[in-house]
Structure 1
Amino acid sequence: MARRGETIELAVLGLLHEGPMHGYELRKRLNLMLGWGRLLSYGSLYPALKKMLRGSLIAEVAPDQVPGVASRRQRIVYQLTDKGAAEFERLMSEVGPTAWEDDNFDIRFRFFSSTDMEIRLRVLEGRRSRLQERLDRVQRELAMTQKEVDRYAAELQRHGVESVEREVRWLSDLINAERGARTDTPPPPPSPAPSPAGND
């Protein structure tokens, strides 16, 4: 499972890949990206930024040196270095279990426009396979325990199954759209994104 610091690092690199910004704006956009269940405090963000500065993945610049970054106060602006851009590209090209885990998949997906189509397909297929395994397990457990649990516990399990089923359908639509784009045939539009599936 990806550590929280690694997830924050990927998200920061991705946002700065789109353009320089100051810490307040970074935190605001990260919280929008991570969702209400994983709100990010300054106490988590600034140690990650300091680590990335030490590693020369990002650099601090004065706001007046960066066109298009407005600030009423003299906040420090962060921008990606060449080393940081290379690291972002490396991370986004990785294909393996960490790419489709719950902690990392949504961040990877947010920056899919920076990813090769073949990599996108492999990540989407890996995520779908991971969720299908989870769905099969939960459905077996539900069948075994339905007679042993009260109706609220059963309802919670049913809700979990439906959430995963929705995400599997959404992923299948996205995969079909990617394959259609690869063969230059107009694919059907993907379904709306579901809520993230619950953790194991």
Structure 2
Amino acid sequence: MAARRPDRAKALELAVLGLLADAPLHGYELRKRLNTTLGALRAFSYGSLYPCLKDLLRRGLIAEDTRVPAADPGRGAPARPLAGRRAKIVYRLTPEGREHLRRRLAEAGPAAWEDDGFGVHFTLFAQTRADIRLRILEGRRNRLEERVESCRTALARTRERQDGYAAELQRHGLESVEREVRWLNELIGRERAAAGERGAQQRRHAPSSGTDRGDAD
């Protein structure tokens, strides 16, 4: 279990940076976004969020601004701070943090397709290069195909012991993994089709060698 903590910490860091890349957020809103948008992070303790933010601040990847809630004075009048209201700390991505996020999104190693990291990377696919997306999806599928074989072996052994309830639970787990593999196959097919279309468009718009020679003459 201890070996998984660094991976979870890295996944949480990536999720925070990805959310702050869209817009500055205060801590409460950041927690809400992690909960509603990044379902893969629900296994994380939210007690780890603020140490993560503190570490990102220390490394200069994010910065914090203090904002005092203001009353709405009406159209055309300047806003006035509300008396007695505490200032909110708003976190924003720094240029160094944006560059760090870019480098993290270019990673396609095992951490990107394991359980702790895949969901976070997937939610940031819109900011990820197409070739990296495909490598992560294929890596995730390979990992789950290995898991399918392990689940089938375990299920066969449980049936030999005639433990019906344990077998039913394992069957449910096997079906869940097989369902995700089918989903990944669909996504991989779409990514490959899109890559083929992009390649075809590039070839159609590329100058022919004959045209190049004619221009040179």
The reply to whether TM is greater than 0.5 is yes
How far apart are 1:52 and its partner, in Å? Answer: 0.5
* Displaced runs of 4 or more, over 6 A: none
The correspondence for 2:60, drawn from 56, 59, 68, is: 56
How far apart are 1:145 and its partner, in Å? Answer: 2.5
1:127 aligns with 2:140: yes
CA contact (8 A) 1:57 1:84 kept: yes
- Taking the aligned partners of 1:36 and 1:85, their CA distance within structure 2 comes to 21
The correspondence for 1:25, drawn from 25, 29, 36, is: 29
Relative to 1, partners in 2 of residues 1:53 and 1:113: Cα closer, same or farther, differing over 3 Å? same
- Taking the aligned partners of 2:162 and 2:7, their CA distance within structure 1 comes to 34
SS at the partner of 2:88? coil
Relative to 1, partners in 2 of residues 1:179 and 1:73: Cα closer, same or farther, differing over 3 Å? farther
Give the TM-score of the pair, scaled to structure 1: 0.83
SS at the partner of 1:106? helix
Residue 116 of structure 1 corresponds to which residue in structure 2?
Answer: 129
Residue 172 of structure 1 corresponds to which residue in structure 2?
Answer: 185
SS at the partner of 1:78? strand
How far apart are 1:73 and its partner, in Å? Answer: 5.3
Structure 2 letter corresponding to 1:5: A
Residue 7 of structure 2 corresponds to which residue in structure 1?
Answer: 3
CA contact (8 A) 2:134 2:191 kept: yes
- Taking the aligned partners of 2:15 and 2:126, their CA distance within structure 1 comes to 14
Structure 1 letter corresponding to 2:14: L
Higher Cα radius of gyration: 2
1:1-200 matches, within 5 Å, as 1=4, 2-32=6-36, 33-34=38-39, 37-38=42-43, 40-41=45-46, 43-63=47-67, 74-184=87-197
Taking every aligned residue pair, what percent have the same amino acid on both sides?
Answer: 54
Residue 194 of structure 1 corresponds to which residue in structure 2?
Answer: none
SS at the partner of 1:118? helix
Q: Gapped runs of 5+ residues in structure 1?
A: 65-71, 186-200
How far apart are 1:151 and its partner, in Å? Answer: 1.0
How far apart are 1:112 and its partner, in Å? Answer: 0.3
- Taking the aligned partners of 1:85 and 1:36, their CA distance within structure 2 comes to 21
SS at the partner of 1:76? strand
CA contact (8 A) 2:61 2:93 kept: yes
Relative to 1, partners in 2 of residues 1:9 and 1:37: Cα closer, same or farther, differing over 3 Å? closer
Relative to 1, partners in 2 of residues 1:94 and 1:36: Cα closer, same or farther, differing over 3 Å? closer
Deviations 1:30-69 (A, max 9, x none): 122135852542x2211110110000000001337xxxxx
- Taking the aligned partners of 2:114 and 2:147, their CA distance within structure 1 comes to 12
RMSD: 2.0
- Taking the aligned partners of 1:177 and 1:135, their CA distance within structure 2 comes to 23
- Taking the aligned partners of 1:3 and 1:12, their CA distance within structure 2 comes to 14
How many matched pairs?
178
